[in-house]
Structure formats: structure tokens, C-alpha cells
Amino acid sequence: MTAPRRLDAPTGLQSGDHACWTFADAADLSAAVLPFLDEGRRLGEQLLLIGASRPELLRVLAPLPGRDELLADGQLQVHGTDAVYGSGDRFSPEDQVAAYRTLVAEARQRGRTGLRVAADVTPRARHGAGARRQLHVYEHLADAMMGAAPMTALCLYDAALGDDVLGPVTLLHPDQHSGSEALAHLSGRGLSLSLHGEVDVTLADDLLRALVDVACDAPGEVVLDLSALRFLDVAGARALARATRLLRGADVHLRLVGAPRTAARCLALFGLGGGDVVPE
């Protein structure tokens, strides 16, 4: 597992990369999508672009080399967000991830090297708190799936959604464009949940929301591996303590394991154990 990565450009991406990309306006969106898809074209990947309106997306794609051939050939597909993710209550994170899994398999059958998706997910984040909880679950499941399947994704979010909405979403991606530095990633890749990078006061609230949403699905024990955490401050430990308490209310027992030595000191301040503490 690697530390979260700050992306300067939407290129240099490969299978397994799952990027969170915030954009300011249509021009910004197009500046990200075009090089991302063009890279996939050169890699022989199946390409999928998802956004608010199909006609608008086709206009965005005009400068893409070989656009018409790609569309005619089926290597590039373009869909409206609602058509793919559904609107309102019809969205199911599990079904959506399963659908992508099928698309990956179909792309491989057609001889493509993998699936590359650029999706403007902004509309899903506008549906309110309940939909945002579902969105966190979705990003988490998608991230776990991409850890094991030949898929590359650029998740596009309108920067106007604000830090409250974008913070937890960003944490659920290993590749991040927003902010000056990628600090932390809450990952579902591997056998358990794991936290990578640095969690300080600036991320504490985001972590609390993302963690509670992705862990509260089913009663029972959820393991959070902290061994790849390079830094945890008191505020971050407090967020983990709050998450533990909130989850207990949903009959979920959050078990922290592998805390580095100093992080374990922080956790102990809240009466939390860090599992078998690992040396730094």
C-alpha cells in the first residue's frame, strides 16, 4: 500500500488508480477529461465518460483526437450521470460497483486492456446528507474494487460543493487533486479498512464522516489498520474515538490495529488501544 498521492495532471495514471479531481467550471472539466481519455485511448482501454448531460459531454469531447472513430467503434461511450447512477433513491452503491465490474469484464473480452472512466459525480453529491452517505459507501467500494481490477477512474467533483462535502470524498481516493498536498487515504483495499498518510486536525471531521459512513453498513466487527499511518494528532485520535462511539450505536465494533508508537500515545489519551503497536 502506498501513501496518498497528490495529482498535478490527470495523466500518468494506470490500472488501479482512483483519482478525485475537483474542477471550477466547464473549461476546467474539459481540461482534465481530454488528456485523461486520450491517455486511455493510447493504452487501448475501454473509455467511458459520464456527466450531467450527454450533448454537453459530446461538445467537451470535440478536441479529442479520433473522437468520432472512438464513438463509432464503441471504444468510447458517453452517458448522462442519472442514466448511469440513477437519480434520487434509485442509486445503489453495491449495484453500481457490480455494474462497473461487469463493464471491466466486457472490456477485457473485447480485447481492451482495461476500463477507464471519467465521471462527473457532482449531481450525486447534491442530493443531501443521505445521498452523500451513500456516495461515501460507493467511493469506498469502488476504491476497493479498483485495487483488484484493471480499472482507472477520474471522479470529477465541482469545487463549488465546498470543503464539507469534498473533504470526506477526497479521503476515499488514493489519488487527489484538491488541496496543496494529499495527506490521507481511507482505503478498503486489502483485507480490512486501512488509513494511510497523515491525519491531523484539518482532516479530523472528514475522517469521522467518511469512516462512520463506510463502516456502519453491517453490525459486527470492523478492523481499521493503522500501520500505514505516518502521523496522527490529538484531533485525529479524537475523531477515531468519536467514530468508535457512533459506530457502537449501530452495533459496529471498530477495532483499531497496528497503530505506530506515537499514534498509540494519542489514542491512549482517549482510552483507545491501538492493537499490537508497531515500531515507527
Partner 1 sequence: MSDVRPTGDWDGTALAHEAFVFGADQELVDRVVPFVLEGLSRGEPVLVVAGERVRSLLAGELGPDLDRLTAFTAAETWWRGGHRTLHAYDRDLRALQAVAPTWRLAAEPTWLARDDGREWSRFEAVANRCYAALPYYSLCLHDRERLPEPVLDAVARTHPLTWGGSAPVPAPAYEDPERFLRSVHPAWDRRPARAAVAALTTPREARRAVSAAALDWWPARVGEVVQAAHELVLNALRVAPFVEVSSWTDEGTLVVEVADSGPGLPDETLGYVPPPTKPDSPRGMWLAWSLADDVAVDSHPAGTAVRLFFHHR
User: Taking CB under 8 A as the rule, does residue 192 contact partner 1?
Assistant: no
Contact flag: residue 183 with partner 1 (CB under 8 A) = yes
d(CA 100, CA 274): 35
Contact between 238 and partner 1 per CB under 8 A: yes
Residue 8 makes contact with partner 1 by CB under 8 A: no
User: Which is closer to partner 1, CB of 34 or CB of 183?
Assistant: 183
Q: Cβ closer to partner 1: 108 or 242?
A: 242
How far, in Å, CA of 181 to CA of 261, rounded?
24
User: Cβ 276 to partner 1, closest distance in Å?
Assistant: 17
Q: In whole angstroms, how close is the CB of 221 to partner 1 at the nearest point? A: 22
- The answer to the question of residue 205 lying near partner 1 (CB under 8 A) is no
Task: Tell me the number of residues near partner 1 by CB under 8 A.
Answer: 23
Region near partner 1 per CB under 8 A, out of 33-41, 60-68, 70-78, 198-206: 198-206
Residues 240-269 that bind partner 1 (CB under 8 A): 241-242, 245, 260-262, 265-266, 269
Each residue 129-168 as x (binds partner 1 by CB under 8 A) or -, in order, gives ----------------------------------------
* By CB under 8 A, residue 202 contacts partner 1: yes
